[in-house]
């Protein structure tokens, strides 16, 4: 039966929580495989771009493996993509991270670092915590977050966050110690989260299931 299901590739560029993402996919019945091969990506029916770590290292690895152009070609041609944490950040134009340069530029915007201080108050960076996400777009109910309640908790671990040039792609926002940031996005065939659904208990796993259902992957 699995051979009849659409094929999802979890992109391996040597950074990220690949196996927890694969386990989440297996749990909901997504026919997913981990691969760093350009050919596999080009043949995939959908893509998952996870990641934890430095933006500059991630982009260097994607370019070295010639996966940057493969991802851009597939997404531009309508292939569904699910970005997670660093995988969301890589979709944007550029990062403030020292020496990072450009991202995939599929969504205009920049990656900003949390400030060390806000109004003379220190902020702990990185943001490692369960934190709430709240609705910013009416697309919530039609998105992979349809089973998530407003202000439900999700698991975050990051020092940087995305700042889209056009907020029409912002699906949810989150407040961290007085800094409001974009915690998920949706734009055409792209869905991405700053938080880790696969580490966010049953509600997080439901996001994988709903993303698969929306894109006819089950």
Q: For the segment 172-214, what is each residue's pLDDT rounded down to a tens digit? A: 999 999 999 999 999 999 999 999 999 999 999 999 999 999 9
* pLDDT score for 170: 97
Dist CA 19 CA 17 (whole Å):
6
* pLDDT score for 1: 43
* pLDDT score for 131: 98
Q: What are phi and psi of 120, to 5 degrees?
A: 65, 15
* pLDDT score for 118: 86
Active site residues: 85, 196, 198
Dist CA 128 CA 166 (whole Å):
27
* pLDDT score for 17: 80
Q: Which domains does the chain have, with CATH numbers?
A: 2-214 (3.40.50.880)
Output the pTM of the full model: 0.95
Low-confidence residues of the chain: pLDDT under 50: 1
* pLDDT score for 77: 97
* pLDDT score for 36: 96
* pLDDT score for 16: 79
Cα distances (Å, whole numbers) of residue 13 to 42, 49, 70, 99, 120:
15, 9, 13, 19, 39
């Amino acid at each position: 039966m699995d051979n009849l299901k659409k094929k999802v590739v979890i992109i391996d560029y040597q950074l990220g929580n690949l196996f927890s993402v694969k386990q989440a996919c297996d749990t909901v019945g997504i026919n997913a495989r981990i691969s760093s091969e350009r050919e596999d990506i080009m043949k995939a029916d959908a893509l998952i771009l996870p990641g934890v770590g430095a933006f500059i290292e991630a982009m260097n690895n994607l370019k070295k493996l010639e996966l940057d152009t493969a991802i851009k070609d597939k997404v531009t041609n309508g292939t569904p993509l699910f970005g997670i944490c660093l995988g969301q950040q890589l979709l944007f134009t550029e990062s403030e991270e020292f020496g990072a340069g450009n991202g995939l530029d599929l969504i205009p915007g920049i990656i900003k670092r949390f400030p060390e201080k806000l109004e003379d108050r220190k902020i702990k960076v990185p943001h490692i915590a369960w934190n709430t996400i709240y609705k910013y777009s009416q697309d919530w109910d039609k998105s992979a977050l349809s089973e998530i309640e407003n202000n439900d908790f999700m698991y975050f671990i990051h020092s940087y966050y995305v700042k889209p040039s056009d907020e029409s792609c912002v699906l949810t926002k989150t407040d961290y110690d007085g800094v409001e940031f974009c915690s998920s996005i949706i734009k055409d065939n792209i869905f991405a989260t700053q938080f880790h659904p696969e580490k966010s208990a049953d509600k997080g796993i439901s996001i994988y299931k709903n993303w698969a259902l929306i894109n006819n992957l089950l």
